[in-house]
Homo-oligomer: A and B are copies of this chain.
Amino acid sequence: MSLLADLLSTLIERRAAVGQGADDRPIEDLCRDLLGSRGEVSGYALVAAILDRYDAMDDAGKLAFFRFLNDEMDIDHGAVAAALAAYGDAPSQATYRAFMAAAEPARQELARRLNQVPGATARLVAMRADLLRLIGQDAALAKLDLDFRHLLSSWFNRGFLVLRPITWSSPAKILEDIISYEAVHAIDSWDDLRRRVQPADRRCFAFFHPAMPDEPLIFVEVALTKGVPGSIQAVLAGDRAALDPAQADTATFYSISNCQAGLAGISFGNSLIKQVAEDLSRALPQLETFVTLSPIPGLAAWMQANLVKAQSAAEQRQIAAHYLLNAKRPNGTPLDPVARFHLQNGASVMDIHAGADTSARGQSLSGGAMVNYRYDLGRVADNHEAFVHEAQVIAAPEIVKLAAQPLPDTA
């Protein structure tokens, strides 16, 4: 590893050294130049000029730039059709190459050339975050987003990501990111953060990309517990005594948050949970259960829409079971987005708890109910298949039974 450490040490140092070009032509001309022959050899200055120009733009400027990419740097319909025909007539390396070139819009090559400067990857991710923010103003840009997504999926391929523990010895800069990106159970303060990363029975892991080494991409918080916890209050209690990790039989994933708006839709969560589960079970072989403690964000809204009310914890639990197993979107998948995420990953519904999240947010989203999704590494593939092909939601027998009971009288 020190080898890797060593060889990568220039990445950050070099950032400072990216050249500046004081080229004042329109950014569109600079982009055309970068795609032209000059771009092959004088890339650095051009790239710096383009990225700096972009950063200085207001939203109107950025929208105009995105439209330029979307429209001018699109595929040429006629050229693709011709290349396709030529390839069909005489399949050869030459005709295939011509087809490949025609079928890929120029903006993809532009992005690759922009990426030749160290630090550019993060700036392109930020550019896509801008695009997603502004896309509502021009639905046609959805096309451009597909190209961003295609490229970023390739660059942020699982094989290039690095899983790292986040601890109290991690750089403050990264811990600060964790505080600000935590999306599920807000971290109030550095002391609150410390309670999540420092005790022996708490873990946090994040994926990083070598080209953005100080930016976590996604992170998950884990509690090592004896038994499956039934409330987030128990997990986050400030005064609890830490458990000796060797005594734990369960790893509870109680929060998973994305950090990069510009990487929306490029899914790391699935890999992250499984990788962490594998690593933990290697380090602590006595762990038997890998489970989440998850919110049910759509429950309260669904209850309201369907005029369902819970008079007791037992009823709340029953309604939640019904909602998770029976409430479906038109395509047959569950209404609840968190349920879709974990079930799609191959998890199963293990248990449901009323009064499990007493925070204002928990109350308003789900009346305080939470759910454990179980990741049984030996079963995720089958569960996933059943879910994908038959929209089948795998759940513990008790939950299945609960969901099958008649709902309490509606209000």
Contacts and interface: CB of A to CB of B under 8 A. Distances in A.
Interface string A305-341: 0000000000000000000000000000000000000
A96 B172 contact: no
A10 B384 contact: no
Contacts of A160: 115, 121, 155, 210-211
Contacts of A172: 168-172, 175, 190, 194
Interface stretch (A143-151, A254-262, A392-400): A143-151
A164 interface: yes
A282 to B, nearest CB: 7
Contact of A42 (B116, B142, B380): B380
Given A41-B345, A116-B271, A154-B151, A6 B100 contact: no
Given A112-B157, A154-B155, A8 B10 contact: no
Interface string A61-87: 000000000000001010011001001
Interface in A103-157: 103-104, 112, 115-118, 120-121, 139, 142-143, 145-147, 150-151, 153-155, 157
A2 interface: yes
Given A41-B270, A154-B154, A159-B118, A1 B7 contact: no
A158 B116 contact: yes
Interface stretch (A11-19, A218-226, A240-248, A354-362): A11-19
A162 interface: yes
A32 interface: no
Contacts of A410: none
A158 B41 CA distance: 12
Interface in A359-408: 380-381, 384-385, 388-389
Nearest to A213: B4
A8 B174 CA distance: 15
A169 B172 CA distance: 5
A91 interface: yes
Contacts of A3: 2, 12, 169, 171, 174, 213-214
B97 A146 contact: yes
A17 B279 CA distance: 9
Given A10-B163, A159-B117, A271-B116, A385 B91 contact: no
A13 to B, nearest CB: 6
A171 B169 contact: yes
Interface in A155-201: 155, 157-160, 162-164, 168-176, 190, 194
B8 A12 contact: no
B9 A159 contact: no
A211 B159 CA distance: 8
A5 interface: yes
A318 to B, nearest CB: 30
A92 B141 CA distance: 9
Contacts of A388: 37
A346 interface: yes
A88 interface: yes
Interface string A40-54: 111110000000000
Contacts of A282: 17
A41 B211 contact: no
23 contacts: A2-B3, A3-B12, A3-B214, A7-B213, A8-B8, A8-B208, A9-B164, A10-B164, A17-B282, A38-B384, A75-B99, A80-B84, A80-B103, A93-B143, A93-B145, A97-B146, A100-B150, A112-B153, A116-B158, A168-B171, A169-B174, A170-B172, A171-B172
Given A1-B11, A7-B208, A43-B158, 5 more contacts: A3-B174, A4-B5, A41-B270, A100-B146, A169-B174
